[in-house]
Amino acid sequence: MVTAPEKRLGAPFWRFWTSAAAANVADGVRAAALPLIAASVSDNAFGVALIAACQQGAWLVFGLGAGVVADRYPPARVVAAADVLRVVMLAAVLTALFLDTVTIPLLAGAAFVIGVAETFRDTAAHSLVPRLVDQTQLERANGRLVGAEIVGNEFLGPLLGALLFAVAVTLPVALDATALLVAVVLILTLRRAAPAIATVDPAGSRPPLLVDLGRGARWLLSNPRLAAVTCSGAAVCFADSAWWSVLVVYSNDVLGLPEAGFGLLLTAGAVGGTVGALGAERLAGRLTPHVVLAAAALLCGLPAVAIALGGSLPVTAVMLAVSSGGFAVWSVVALSTRQREAPPEILGRVTGTHRLVLFGSGMVGALVGGVLADSVAITAPFYLAGALATVAAAGLLVVARTERRGQA
């Protein structure tokens, strides 16, 4: 008898995986290229930082709306439309580069629109996976997807973006757009494999938009298991952003690393994250989701304490790999649990609510980390990360224990 973990994921999933991998490489190329283009246009540090803020801030504005769209329309079509919009904006940037008319406001506007499109794309993509694979294969499928995301976003894409920018400023933008076009072509083959799930009331009409926007949040609040996952995720993202936001300063002031050395540290993190993503399925098959998530939360935060105590390059590199691996495991198991337990007709809105909380927490965590590093000590955010991760893990274990008692 063939057990569930041994089943093939299937051709539709692998087409989706290839599309996602191409889009993630595009994201990584853009993450490296846009700041470099901005720096070549202006030496104003705020202007360069504004590019990243505009793209990330889109989640806070459109996260809930993206969930409604993902539930009302075929997710493959939403993903394709979002990628087409990103290609259009990249074409505008590319045209401005050829005409030598690029400005910081233009780049910031393009980054915001691209961020809006990415918000809709990612939410719909999370709704798409459960329609392509069996529920028993969610950890395996999400592990492959998160692994591809880490390689594309954190390693291959930024490397290509920086190398191509050194050759010609237009090349990384052209590669970004081309990779997204490939992603669109592949995702359009999945429309029949993943149709929309109707969200109408018995009278045959859709509920009001404001009611729809809050439905995912209301469902999360009424579900202690997933509410605990979201709350722990907020704590983990806050903690992770707090010390990662000052890691480059730590590597320079404490470790004495040049910029190239910092890049190697990030590579160590990417390797650890990829290993964690691919190994999450094994852990999920042996332990309950909340126990795995609790262990992953500890692996996210406690390595930061080890880095602060160690103060050496080898310890930092190893602990970065461990922390990134823990974060990848947490992402895979949390995502799979949400896809498995949330009703399919509101999965997009539940996902939008969950990610809105995590993105908001991460942004605040980065700000707090910077304040603590300046006003207390450079290592203060690292110790805070360890404390918050411990609290998050304890909360998850309490929920798991309460659930076991309720089932007894």
User: Is the predicted pLDDT of residue 72 greater than 90, yes or no?
Assistant: no
Q: Which fold has domain 208-408?
A: Growth Hormone; Chain: A; (1.20.1250)
Class of domain 7-196: mainly alpha
Distance, CA of 81 to CA of 162 (rounded, Å): 28
pLDDT tens, residue by residue, 309-362 = 988 889 999 999 999 999 999 999 999 999 999 998 889 999 989 988 998 888
Instruction: Measure Cα distances from 135 to 140, 212, 366, 401 in Å.
Output: 10, 26, 35, 24
**pLDDT band at 391; cut points 50, 70, 90:** very high
Token match 């439309």: residue? Answer: 81
What average pLDDT is seen over the chain?
86
C-alpha span between 339 and 123 (Å, rounded): 12
CA distance 277 to 329: 5
Stated length of the chain: 408
Owner of token pair 């070549």: 40
Question: pLDDT for 100-136, tens place per residue?
Answer: 899 989 998 999 999 899 999 999 999 889 988 888 8
Which pLDDT does position 383 carry in this prediction?
96
* pLDDT greater at residue 154 or residue 96: 96
Q: Is the pLDDT of residue 248 over 80?
A: no
pLDDT for 193: 54
Percent of the chain with pLDDT over 70: 89
| Amino acid letter, 227 | A
- pTM listed for this prediction: 0.83
Q: Does residue 203 surpass a pLDDT of 80?
A: no
Q: What is the dihedral of CA 381, 382, 388, 390, to 10 degrees?
A: -170
Tell which residue, 216, 205, 150, 193, has the closest CA to residue 351.
216
Map out the domains of the chain as residue ranges.
7-196, 208-408
- pLDDT at residue 369 in the model: 87
Rounded to a whole number of angstroms, the distance between the first and last alpha carbons of the chain is 31
Whether the predicted pLDDT of 204 surpasses 80? no
- Residue 200's pLDDT is 47
pLDDT at 374: 86
135-171: pLDDT as tens digits: 889 999 999 999 999 989 888 888 888 888 889 989 9
Can you tell me the distance from the alpha carbon of 408 to that of 87, in angstroms, rounded to the nearest whole number? Answer: 54
Does the pLDDT of residue 80 top 60, yes or no?
Answer: yes
Percent of the chain with pLDDT over 90: 42
Among 26-30, 87-91, 210-214, 359-363, the minimum mean pLDDT is found in: 210-214
Using one digit for the tens of pLDDT, what is the confidence trace for 294-323?
A: 999 999 999 999 999 988 889 999 999 999
Query: Is residue 51's pLDDT more than 60?
Result: yes
DSSP assignment of 193-245: TS-------TTSSPPPHHHHHHHHHHHHHH-HHHHHHHHHHHHHHHHHHHHHT
Average pLDDT over residues 178-191: 90
Whole-number pLDDT of residue 209? 61
Q: How confident is the model at residue 241 (pLDDT cuts 50, 70, 90)?
A: confident
pLDDT over 60 at 199, yes or no: no
Question: How many C-beta atoms lie closer than 10 Å to residue 219's C-beta?
Answer: 18
Hunting for tokens 């999933």 — which residue is that?
A: 13
- Does residue 272 surpass a pLDDT of 70? yes
158 φ, ψ (degrees, to nearest 5): -60, -35
